[in-house]
Chains A and B, each alone.
Chain A
Amino acid sequence: MFPMRRNRMMRTLLSVGTLAVVYGIAAEIGRGRLPDRIWLGTHYVENVQLLPPYRSLLEETAFLLESGILPSSIAVSAGRVLLGFVLGGAFGILLGIATGRAARAEYLADPWVTFFRFTPALALLPLFVLWFGYGEGSKVLLIAASVAVVTLLGAHQGVRSVPRVYLEAASALGASPGLAFRKIVLPAALPHIFASLRIGLGLAWVTIVVAELIDARMPSLGYLLTLAGAYPRVPTMVVGIATIGALVLAFDLLALAAHAKATRWMRRTA
């Protein structure tokens, strides 16, 4: 087990390292060779560095950090994602459990769930702007909506797919419906719920890139990307994309750790 693990770590370092070196070399080769005047359909933009070398990326990062732009943008955007994630997740899970538990509730909700399960929550954006204004509410609720859709389905399926034998065994041991729900249905549905929460977290970050164009203003990562694209200023763009990527990765690792902890009892395939 252990030598295997070290092998894997070496290979990870090797592949990520190679990628980083290849980028560095490509940026050096590209300097002066890649086009720097680009037609955007309506006008030309000048002095575009399509592959900014590490030096300018580092300078840009230093500038964004020192000026406080990046830290405040991260705080604001991550705050919105978290708030929307918690609201949407709670709503979706509760509704999914309700529709999974009660056959009647499911029958009532079913046509709507079936119909809207593949509707992009992003399409709600103009409606949310009308209903909740240009402020924080629209952005957070849009994120909540996209998270709610997947967690609803996850919780619903989780509750539905609890093996019959566990419910029968519990009932034979005299468990009341309430106890069976707390001790059997919920833990058995947990892996499904966690999987959907992880997907929802990913969707929340997709949504915020668009949601932060509502009444776009700094500080926010979504608007930072938009501004960088408008100039265009590629180093800012790359740093912005990398920052969002790093945040998504960090959130996902946290979610994965929580998932692993909550489902320690599960048999794992190595």
Chain B
Amino acid sequence: MTAGDPPRLRLQAVDVGYTYSGPTPTQALEALSLDVHDSEFLAVLGPVGCGKTTLLRIFAGFLRPAAGSVRCDGSIVEGPGRERGYVLQEDAIFPWMTVRENVEFGLLARGVDPAARGAVSSELIRLIGLSRFEEAYPKELSAGMAKMVEVARVLATDPAILLLDEPFGALDAQTRARMQDELARLWERRRKTVLFVTHDVEEALYLADRIAVLSPRPGRVKADFPVDLPRPRSLEARFSPAFSALKRRIWETLG
């Protein structure tokens, strides 16, 4: 691909609808359309319960849209695929595996030999700063460290696309800021297509190239903001006038 080409389309949702059945059926998504381009960091922002997670689970292949279609690299999504790495909102680090075993799990699933697995995991564990905990069980990790292991576990399989569901939702503000820096650093090294779901405006602004704002339930894309703040972003970026101006515009859309 040369510099002049328009960016390639990686993920595409067209008129997606989804309704949860049950005693009180709830429509989570309605006629939602969204494009994610190659190497783009897209944040999906919306209030709690607007169907963000539903959208991500549809992209990940764990839910089938009731209406519309979802494509990845041009073909219909029919289930989980190795080109899409998915980090769940819940704590899904495997507690019976050490940090290293967790990070290597996806490679094990692909039949990679132990030596190659070891090389990849050592590198990633070092990158997230947990070399000391390589052989520790997750019970020894803090919530932030555990989440970072989950991200590393997905990165180990080197997927083209990362689907992250509020990975830092349960962390305190300071840890969260540190994790955001870590993620930004990782992303700048390995430029992947990222679809990042969050309800935190500042987090979306700090990390993303573009922000899609969802409406309350049933969710649909209400607004789309390009974030053209220079990278790498640092503490100063969070307090820059451009940052604040964008933040204000997004809040106005949300309110």
A38 to B1, CA, bound (A): 101
A174 to B94, CA, bound (A): 15
Q: Is the CB of B154 within 8 A of A173?
A: yes
Q: Kindly supply a per-residue 1/0 record for chain B positions 101-140, scoring 1 wherever the CB is within 8 Å of any chain A CB and 0 otherwise.
A: 0000110111000000000000000000000000001110
Q: Is the CB of B96 within 8 A of A169?
A: no
A188 to B93, CA, bound (A): 12
Interface-forming stretch among B80-88, B182-190, B206-214? Answer: B80-88
Q: Is A176 an interface residue (CB 8 A)?
A: yes
Q: Which of B88, B108, B139 contacts A169 (CB 8 A)?
A: B88
Q: Kindly supply a per-residue 1/0 record for chain A positions 173-202, scoring 1 wherever the CB is within 8 Å of any chain B CB and 0 otherwise.
A: 111100100011001101000000000000
Q: Is the CB of B137 within 8 A of A264?
A: yes
Given A265-B95, A265-B97, A168 and B62 contact (CB-CB distance below 8 Å):
yes
List, in ascending order, chain A residues with CB within 8 A of B95's CB.
265-267
Give the residue among A174, A175, A179 with the most B Cβ atoms within 10 A: A174
**CB nearest neighbor in A for B84:** A172
Q: Is the CB of B92 within 8 A of A179?
A: no
A136 to B62, CA, bound (A): 53
**CB nearest neighbor in B for A267:** B139
Q: Nearest Cβ distance between residue A165 and chain B, in whole angstroms?
A: 4
Q: Is A216 an interface residue (CB 8 A)?
A: no
Q: Which of B88, B90, B96, B109 contacts A174 (CB 8 A)?
A: B109
Given A183-B105, A266-B95, A173 and B153 contact (CB-CB distance below 8 Å):
yes
Interface of A is mostly: helix
Q: Is B12 an interface residue (CB 8 A)?
A: no
Q: Is the CB of A172 within 8 A of B60?
A: yes
Q: Is B35 an interface residue (CB 8 A)?
A: no
Q: Is A170 an interface residue (CB 8 A)?
A: yes
The number of chain A residues with a CB under 8 A from chain B is: 22
List, in ascending order, chain A residues with CB within 8 A of B85's CB.
172-173
Q: Is the CB of B88 within 8 A of A165?
A: yes
Q: Nearest Cβ distance between residue A193 and chain B, in whole angstroms?
A: 13
List, in ascending order, chain B residues with CB within 8 A of A171's CB.
62, 80
Q: Nearest Cβ distance between residue A28 and chain B, in whole angstroms?
A: 52
Q: Is B73 an interface residue (CB 8 A)?
A: no
Interface positions of B from 54 to 107, Cβ below 8 Å from A: 60-62, 80, 82, 84-86, 88, 90-92, 94-97, 105-106
List, in ascending order, chain B residues with CB within 8 A of A266's CB.
95-96, 139
List, in ascending order, chain A residues with CB within 8 A of B108's CB.
179, 183
List, in ascending order, chain B residues with CB within 8 A of A175's CB.
105-106, 109
The number of chain B residues with a CB under 8 A from chain A is: 28
Q: Kindly supply a per-residue 1/0 record for chain A positions 251-270, scoring 1 wherever the CB is within 8 Å of any chain B CB and 0 otherwise.
A: 00000000000011111000
Q: Nearest Cβ distance between residue B109 and chain A, in whole angstroms?
A: 4
Q: Is the CB of B80 within 8 A of A176?
A: no
Q: Kindly supply a per-residue 1/0 record for chain B positions 169-206, scoring 1 wherever the CB is within 8 Å of any chain A CB and 0 otherwise.
A: 00000000000000000000000000000000000000
Given A174-B82, A174-B157, A267-B139, A168 and B88 contact (CB-CB distance below 8 Å):
yes
Q: Is A166 an interface residue (CB 8 A)?
A: yes
Q: Is the CB of B80 within 8 A of A174?
A: yes
Q: Is the CB of A187 within 8 A of B88?
A: no
List, in ascending order, chain B residues with CB within 8 A of A265's CB.
95-97, 137-139
A36 to B80, CA, bound (A): 78
Q: Nearest Cβ distance between residue A198 and chain B, in whole angstroms?
A: 19
Q: Is the CB of A166 within 8 A of B105?
A: no
Q: Which of A165, A170, A190, A267 contacts B105 (CB 8 A)?
A: A170
- CB within 8 Å of A: which residues of B? 60-62, 80, 82, 84-86, 88, 90-92, 94-97, 105-106, 108-110, 137-139, 150, 153-154, 157
Closest 7 CB pairs of A and B: A173-B106, A169-B92, A187-B96, A172-B86, A175-B109, A265-B137, A165-B92
Q: List 20 A-B contacts (CB under 8 A).
A: A168-B86, A168-B88, A168-B92, A169-B150, A170-B94, A172-B61, A172-B80, A173-B154, A174-B82, A174-B106, A174-B157, A183-B105, A183-B108, A184-B94, A263-B96, A265-B95, A265-B137, A265-B138, A266-B139, A267-B95
